[in-house]
A and B are shown apart, each in its own frame.
Chain A
Amino acid sequence: MSASPNSEALPMVEMSATETRSANRLTLFWVISLLILFPFLVLLGLTLRSAQSKLLPADLLPAERFYSILTLHGLGMVGLWFVAVMAGVCVELRKYIRLRMWANWTAFLGTLLGVVLLVVATLIGKYGPGWYFLYPLSISPKGVWQDWATYTFLLAIAILGVSWSVWNIDVLWGIARRYSLSAALSWHYITGRPGLEVPPFILIVTISIIANLTGLISAVIMLGLYGLELAGFADMSDALLMKNLIFLFGHLIVNIIMYLGVGLVYELLPEFAGRPWKNSRWVAIAWNLVLVLIIIAYFHHLYMDFAQYKAVQIIGQVASYGVAIPSAVVSVYGALALVWRARMQWSMASMMMYLGVMGWCIGGMGALIDSTIAFNTKFHNTLWVPAHFHTYFLLGVVLMILGGTFHLCGKLSGLPENLRRSRWCTALICAGGYGFVLMFYLGGANSIPRRYAQYHELISTGTWLAGAALVFITVLFVGVLIYLWETGRRCVVALKKV
């Protein structure tokens, strides 16, 4: 865990009391949004599994409602955890760089507006092509939803994309002004030249933002093509091109949410372990490799599109395997070394962050299996797919973010922690969460397709697996309620103080 030779540490950024209050207030508004949207989106997921288990009869939840709820649940969760992790990252970033409050406010207001439009398009307009809105279904309502729902949805995506891009660019600009981009990317650690001491957190945020902006560019091109087609230039869009564009965007945003969460772990877990986690040549090489490999790895989403060149399919698998190695050797091994025989302060925050790294590894194994072409032939678009990404998210980055959020609200409110309640909360979320994802893995292994509103006789195993999942979701939700209570009351007290 060594630093670059002769490195010079920059002084911490000092904010005035007014600036600090203003920043904390906005962060707490983000926390409130998280505390409202998270349980709402979990309940949407519960509704879906209830329909699949036949506990909720088909006439109470017809297919068009199922698919519009599925679309909102998927997009909602991706968007929620992106803004939540970005808000958390900004809290820690303020120690190192200056950020502009107007960029953060733009993202906040843009997100609120985007969410409202998404809810209107899906729950009222019945827009339901799924969270990655695959072309051309995304603009082929066929009587299920009206054209206005399509336009509202695309407008929501555009607003979210613009406001998040502004936020990301502000962060990257702030980092580049203080460190320079090459220093933030820690190239001097790789070459061994003297230079600035760069916290690994800065390196990880830089990598993640660059990757995310790459994905956002892809989304801009895609939205442009949608605009041309809807304006009447019918031959502008191509199904395979659009699929490449949406998956490049979607793949990158979900992975950088993960990496930003890991960045928070790099920054906060050392406080609980009483040991530093410094940058080094190993850390710098690893994360620079991750930047390149995570972009190339997106091809693993199109293995079953045989029209793609075979070379890119092979590259996709090699890159997917490759990107796991630096993450494992530096981040996972580094986290374990940090905790090994350390005088750990086990609180809700540290437990959740530690368990989040574990969930990242487990979800990663599910992902590696699916990113193997030979296995993907059997698992593509089965329940194995939601199995691995729910593990990465719910039991990986969501735990990291929940831990970090609780930690922040605790610090700002000054309220002491009830360790017993914290352990129960963590245990219930993990027990419920792992049981819930296990039902997905079993579904994938039994060839149950994903995104079926109901399972017919050939795949009737899916029905009882969905029923079993409901039990685990209930356990999980009890844990979530405890979390909402503990974090919510701290958030309220903190808001009164700022």
Chain B
Amino acid sequence: MQSLALVLFLVWTAIIVATFAVVARSGNSPGELPLMAYKRNRVLFLSFLLAFAAVSLFLTLPDTPYPVEGVKPDRVVYVSGKQFAFKLSDKPISREDALDDEVFLSIKPIRAGELVEFRISGIDVTHGFSIYDRAGTVQAQTQAMPGYVNRLRYQFSQSGTYPVLCFELCGIGHPTMKAELKVVDKETATNAVASN
């Protein structure tokens, strides 16, 4: 997805630069602006942009990260963010446990293929919960905001260790705030601990 975006961006940039260069150089053979062609091309340009926008909206709007109410997740994991660590639990996290740095929480292994719903909140300031794949590319994210629970659903296709980074500036320890999600194959039933 990221590579596609970069390619799209670079292609459009090349088109824009080429257009501006051609127009700038057109001054080498000066003449009057052909008004009819100008007006006709403006209508064509508008039509093209409207069509492009409509197609883009049609293709992209169905793909949103917001939970679909009719679909039940296979698993719920509760997450709280506090400067500068995430806590993960299979049960709702009490405010006392979220605030206490001596309390260590854990979750049962996440199984590849199951739809996990992370219910995420911040306890002190707003953090960001961003799941990376094993190749170091962002897959999904949401905000961990005090007073709100954001529900992020994700399906891990393969077993492995998936890093989580904080994506909202939360203080001087922001770059160090991370977690790991251990995902096992469906058949494996060992205890894996999400560490922070």
Question: Hey, which bits of chain A sit against chain B, CB under 8 A?
Answer: 62-64, 67, 128-130, 134, 136-137, 140, 142, 144, 238-240, 243, 275, 282, 304-307, 310, 313-314, 317-318, 321-322, 324-325, 328-329, 333, 336-337, 339-344, 354-355, 357-358, 361-362, 365-366, 369, 372-375, 377-382, 384, 441-442, 444-447, 449, 451-456, 458-459
Across the interface, do A306 and B151 meet the contact criterion of CB distance under 8 Å? yes
A321 to B60, CA, bound (A): 12
The contact of A337 among B1, B13, B38, B151, by CB within 8 Å, is B38
Contacts of B168 in A (CB 8 A): 134, 381
What are 24 of the A-B contact pairs (CB < 8 Å)?
A64-B172, A134-B169, A239-B146, A243-B145, A306-B152, A314-B64, A317-B57, A321-B56, A333-B42, A339-B27, A343-B27, A354-B20, A362-B13, A373-B63, A374-B1, A375-B5, A377-B141, A380-B167, A384-B5, A446-B137, A449-B165, A449-B166, A451-B174, A453-B175
Contacts of B172 in A (CB 8 A): 62-64, 67, 128, 144, 453
A137 to B66, CA, bound (A): 26
Across the interface, do A381 and B145 meet the contact criterion of CB distance under 8 Å? no
A317 to B150, CA, bound (A): 20
Chain A residue with minimal CB distance to B31? A341
A325 to B43, CA, bound (A): 12
The contact of A310 among B66, B147, B169, by CB within 8 Å, is B66
* B residues 111-168 touching A (CB-CB < 8 Å): 122, 124-126, 128, 130, 132, 136-143, 145-152, 163, 165-168
Chain A residue with minimal CB distance to B27? A344
A318 to B12, CA, bound (A): 20
The contact of A329 among B42, B66, B146, by CB within 8 Å, is B42
Closest 5 CB pairs of A and B: A63-B172, A445-B6, A374-B63, A306-B150, A137-B125
Question: Hey, which bits of chain B sit against chain A, CB under 8 A?
Answer: 1-3, 5-6, 8-9, 12-13, 16-17, 19-20, 23-24, 26-27, 29-33, 38, 41-42, 45-46, 49-50, 53, 56-57, 60-61, 63-67, 83, 122, 124-126, 128, 130, 132, 136-143, 145-152, 163, 165-176
| Given A239-B146, A341-B31, A445-B6: A456 touches B63 (CB 8 Å cut-off) | no
A358 to B12, CA, bound (A): 12
A329 to B52, CA, bound (A): 13
| Given A142-B83, A458-B136: A130 touches B147 (CB 8 Å cut-off) | no
Across the interface, do A452 and B175 meet the contact criterion of CB distance under 8 Å? yes
Across the interface, do A366 and B147 meet the contact criterion of CB distance under 8 Å? no
Contacts of B63 in A (CB 8 A): 373-374
Chain A residue with minimal CB distance to B43? A329
Chain A residue with minimal CB distance to B165? A449
Across the interface, do B60 and A372 meet the contact criterion of CB distance under 8 Å? yes
Across the interface, do A342 and B27 meet the contact criterion of CB distance under 8 Å? yes
Contacts of B17 in A (CB 8 A): 358, 362
Contacts of B65 in A (CB 8 A): 304, 306, 373, 377
Contacts of A321 in B (CB 8 A): 53, 56-57
Across the interface, do A339 and B169 meet the contact criterion of CB distance under 8 Å? no
The contact of A373 among B1, B64, B143, B146, by CB within 8 Å, is B64
